[in-house]
């Protein structure tokens, strides 16, 4: 369900307040700010040419497309669009039409009252009264960062671009008001677990073996600073974040060496200024000596592996061999007793599945999984019915749960299939790929002869069998050192973006 759409078109060409650069800064390479629009010509000055005309034309296309999207959902979702309060964008024909058709109203606020560092006026045009809570004017109870042109490496930069980033406070306020409206309407908000940054198991094992992996793949075990202290904003107002010299440390009454950290926002939206004080070399060494080295750990080795290692050392090769022979004899005897049930199971399969699973001992496989303690009770059904190329993977009990949202729905996938088919089938054949494609084609025919695939089919034959809407995926060859590996491109056909769609076991349209 689509509930809220927000748009923030670029405002580089629509600013109404153009700043004049001093001749000194122009000589140093500061960008010259030329007007590109006016109140009389909000879609662009007639005199524009070259790069300026291209910039304005590109921006206008963005405005048109954004307005089309918002207008299409104005009756079924909350919508909002943002730009500076005095932006010429609001005067363009597309925005005027959108504001009229969607009955949007303006909400103005100053960035400093929403967690920003400057008193920039910003405007939202919205279609719901809940957005009115964003309207706030500066109360003059805090300091503002300067708007003046800064000199940076013999050039100049304006701070307007930095102010285009939404402050955390504004994001939280918008999120809260959207959640409030959803709650009032009885909409259930589905929460998803954030993907935690996971340490790669192989890197942990490498560290335990005494090989340090590159980068920051292992968690930090010793903090960068001995401690971090909060300081008065007035004291550090003239300082730039970074390493502090001894005189600055003395002024701040902190030990050298230290570092002034970038400003962050507190829970109340106020700026928090902090300094991090480093350890002395002796303090660092003493704390490091008290830590456990990964080489002294075995946390990444599973309990099963530890038990097997213990058995190998205690039973010896002959004991392990005897245990394995006993296990083989047991399951061979069990397979003979289950043969009648196995044949009955295969006889109940359709022709496609029966061909693919011919000779597979499914009941023995199921018993082996249960005896091994595998928690996933659906493995036998998965073997019989085949794996789905899309949809939810389900819970196996073997891995940590991680929720990932789909990018599109079944309806969207099928509606887009006629376009993805046209794109895939319309791709030309590169001369350099002919040999590789020939090998991929021969492999596909070989799989067909084994009963793993059906075909080949023409597009018209597939329309007759599957209907007008069906998805095709391109198979290409990846050259490896000893073979050509066939890969089905599920991203190009949008299969990977879809959720809740069961595909037939017989890949009749691949």
DSSP string over 391-402: S-----SSS---
Could you state, in order of their start, the residue ranges of all structural domains in the chain? 4-184, 218-294, 338-386, 410-497
What is the distance between the alpha carbons of residues 212 and 303, in angstroms, rounded to a whole number?
A: 24
Q: Residue 304 is encoded by which pair of tokens?
A: 């099963």
Taking the chain, what is the end-to-end CA distance rounded to the nearest angstrom? 31
Answer whether 43's CB lies under 8 Å from 62's CB: no
What is the distance between the alpha carbons of residues 226 and 286, in angstroms, rounded to a whole number?
A: 12
Distances in Å between the alpha carbon of 424 and those of 36, 199, 359, 431?
41, 37, 36, 17
**Predicted pLDDT of residue 153:** 37
Distances in Å between the alpha carbon of 444 and those of 81, 360, 361?
51, 22, 26
**Predicted pLDDT of residue 269:** 67
Burial of 27 (0-12, 13-18, 19+ CB in 10 A): exposed
Q: Residue 320 is encoded by which pair of tokens?
A: 């392990």
Nearest by Cα to 179 from 137, 135, 136, 128: 128
What is the distance between the alpha carbons of residues 35 and 88, in angstroms, rounded to a whole number?
A: 11
Instruction: Return phi, psi of residue 48, to 5°.
Output: -65, 150
**Predicted pLDDT of residue 391:** 67
What letter would DSSP give residue 408?
A: B
**Predicted pLDDT of residue 455:** 85
**Beta strand pairing call for 4-7 and 78-84:** parallel
- How wide is the angle at C-alpha 319 spanned by C-alphas 314 and 323, nearest 5°? 120
Dmax (CA) of the chain: 95
Place of tokens 């000199």: 151
**Predicted pLDDT of residue 58:** 93
Nearest by Cα to 81 from 16, 14, 19, 18: 14
**Predicted pLDDT of residue 17:** 47
**Predicted pLDDT of residue 56:** 93
Does 232 sit behind a cis peptide bond, omega within 30 degrees of 0 on the bond before it? no
Helix (H) or strand (E) holding 106: strand 105-110
What is the distance between the alpha carbons of residues 285 and 290, in angstroms, rounded to a whole number?
A: 9
- How wide is the angle at C-alpha 256 spanned by C-alphas 252 and 260, nearest 5°? 55
* Coil, helix or strand at residue 73: coil
Q: Residue 508 is encoded by which pair of tokens?
A: 């009749």
**Predicted pLDDT of residue 454:** 85
Q: Residue 325 is encoded by which pair of tokens?
A: 């022979």
**Predicted pLDDT of residue 298:** 60
Q: Residue 507 is encoded by which pair of tokens?
A: 């890949």
Does 448 sit behind a cis peptide bond, omega within 30 degrees of 0 on the bond before it? no
DSSP string over 144-167: ----SPEEETTEEE-SHHHHTSPP
**Per-position pLDDT tens, the chain of length 510:** 678 999 999 888 887 544 444 455 555 555 556 789 999 999 999 999 998 999 999 999 999 999 999 999 988 889 999 999 999 999 999 999 999 999 999 999 999 998 888 888 999 999 998 999 999 999 888 888 876 554 433 344 444 555 667 888 899 999 989 988 888 877 766 554 444 445 556 666 666 666 666 666 566 667 888 888 888 888 887 788 889 999 888 888 888 999 988 888 776 667 788 899 999 999 999 888 887 766 666 666 777 788 888 889 999 999 999 999 999 999 999 989 999 999 998 888 888 888 888 888 889 988 988 888 887 777 888 888 877 777 666 677 776 666 666 667 777 778 788 888 888 887 766 655 788 888 889 989 998 888 888 888 888 898 888 888 888 888 888 888 888 888 888 888 887 775 433 333 333 333
Question: Looking at the DSSP assignment, which residues form a beta bridge with residue 217?
Answer: none
């Amino acid at each position: 369900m689509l509930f809220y759409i927000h748009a923030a078109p670029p405002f580089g060409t629509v600013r109404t307040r153009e700043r004049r650069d001093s001749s000194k800064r122009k000589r140093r390479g500061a960008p010259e700010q030329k007007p590109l629009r006016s109140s009389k010509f909000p879609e662009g000055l007639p005199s524009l040419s070259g790069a300026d005309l291209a910039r304005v034309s590109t921006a206008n296309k963005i405005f048109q497309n954004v307005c089309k999207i918002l207008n299409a959902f104005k009756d079924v979702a909350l919508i909002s669009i943002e730009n500076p309060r005095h932006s010429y964008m609001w005067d363009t024909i597309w925005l005027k039409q959108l504001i009229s058709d969607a009955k949007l109203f303006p909400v103005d606020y100053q960035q400093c009252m929403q967690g920003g560092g400057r008193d920039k006026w910003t405007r939202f045009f919205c279609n719901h009264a809940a957005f009115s809570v964003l309207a706030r004017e500066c109360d003059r109870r805090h300091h503002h960062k300067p708007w003046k042109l800064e000199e940076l490496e013999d050039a100049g930069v304006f701070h307007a671009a930095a102010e285009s980033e939404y402050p955390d406070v504004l994001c939280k306020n918008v999120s809260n008001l959207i959640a409030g409206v959803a709650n009032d309407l009885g909409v259930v908000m589905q929460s998803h677990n954030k993907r935690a940054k996971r340490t790669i198991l192989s890197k942990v094992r490498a560290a335990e073996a005494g090989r340090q992996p590159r980068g920051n793949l292992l968690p930090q075990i010793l903090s960068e600073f001995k401690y971090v202290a909060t300081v008065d904003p007035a004291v550090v107002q003239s300082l730039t974040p970074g390493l502090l010299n001894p005189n600055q440390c003395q002024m701040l009454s902190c030990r050298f060496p230290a570092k002034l950290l970038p400003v962050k926002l507190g829970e109340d939206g106020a700026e928090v200024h902090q300094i991090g004080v480093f350890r002395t070399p002796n303090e660092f060494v003493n704390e490091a000596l008290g830590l456990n080295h990964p080489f002294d750990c075995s946390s990444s080795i599973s309990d099963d592996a530890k038990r097997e290692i213990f058995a190998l050392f205690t039973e010896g090769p002959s004991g392990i061999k005897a245990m394995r022979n006993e296990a083989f004899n047991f399951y061979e005897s069990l397979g003979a007793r289950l043969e009648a049930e196995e044949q009955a199971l295969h006889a109940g399969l359709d022709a496609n599945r029966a061909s693919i699973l011919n000779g597979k001992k499914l009941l023995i496989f199921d018993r082996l999984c249960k005896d091994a303690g595998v928690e996933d009770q659906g493995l036998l059904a998965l073997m019989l019915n085949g794996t789905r190329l899309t949809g939810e993977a389900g819970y196996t009990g073997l891995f940590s749960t991680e929720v990932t949202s789909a990018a599109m729905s079944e309806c969207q996938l099928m509606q887009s299939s006629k376009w993805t088919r046209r794109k895939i089938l319309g791709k030309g054949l590169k001369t350099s790929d002919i040999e590789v494609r020939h090998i991929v084609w021969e492999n596909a025919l070989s799989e067909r002869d084994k009963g793993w695939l059906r075909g080949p089919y023409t597009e018209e034959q597939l329309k007759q069998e599957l209907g007008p809407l069906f998805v095709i995926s391109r198979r290409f060859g990846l050259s490896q050192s000893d073979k050509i590996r066939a890969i089905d491109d599920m991203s190009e056909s949008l299969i990977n973006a879809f959720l809740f769609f069961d595909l037939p076991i017989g890949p009749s349209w691949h």
